[in-house]
Amino acid sequence: MSERTILKRLPNRLEPRKLAYSDTSFEGSVSADEVPRLLEATRSISNVKALLRFFVDDRKNCVINGSVSADVVLECQRCLQALEPRQITAAVMVAVVNDEAKAEQLPKDLDPWILEEPEADLYLLIEEELLLSLPVVSYHKDECLDPSLYSTGDIEAETIVKRSNPFDVLASIKGKNEID
């Protein structure tokens, strides 16, 4: 089986089933404005990349397997300032199916991509996978606001626990043993 790899800018419209039957791999990038929902969910995005292989598996499913990634700048939900840029990645393991009924029949390790038409929008798939891999919450690691502005004082106890050194506990156990 000959495997073709196509590099650079990823195509938008393509025919996944056809590509699967010719075992085709794509490696390339997508510009930020081509994934508008991801752009809207973040402060900014860059380096949107994907490495995807289209093939037919031994159960005759047209499978797309690979990974997508992007560098994103998220907003701290506490102080509403930008966080350090970070990379998000998602593993892609989808099967192209004609309808909901076929989707139900897929094994658990394959996510359905329901396509009635032969042609599909690859950017939509990439965007969807990246949206799903965004963290549910995003905060600065350190306190970015005066704790009194958002807390009732519980935060103080939390800080003390964090600061206690686990080796202190070890040291005191060790000390006891030595006495015994």
Which residues would be at the binding site for Zn ion (CB under 5 A)? 76, 78-79, 140, 144
Q: Which is nearer to Zn ion, 103 or 134 (CB)?
A: 134
CB atoms within 10 A of CB 118: 11
Q: Which is nearer to Zn ion, 146 or 178 (CB)?
A: 146
Q: What is the Cα–Cα distance from 79 to 72, expressed in whole angstroms?
A: 18
Q: Which is nearer to Zn ion, 78 or 102 (CB)?
A: 78
Minimum CB separation of residue 31 from Zn ion in Å reads 29
Minimum CB separation of residue 134 from Zn ion in Å reads 17
Contact 54, 19 (CB under 8 A): yes
Minimum CB separation of residue 170 from Zn ion in Å reads 34
Give the pair of three-digit tokens for residue 104: 């139900």
- DSSP 8-state class, residue 68: E
Q: Which is nearer to Zn ion, 4 or 43 (CB)?
A: 43
Q: Which helix (H) or strand (E) holds 44?
A: strand 44-56
Q: Which is nearer to Zn ion, 82 or 93 (CB)?
A: 82
**Strand segments (E) across 16-136:** 24-30, 44-56, 62-73, 86-97, 111-114, 120-121
Minimum CB separation of residue 144 from Zn ion in Å reads 3
CA nearest to 127, candidates 24, 5, 45: 45
Minimum CB separation of residue 160 from Zn ion in Å reads 21
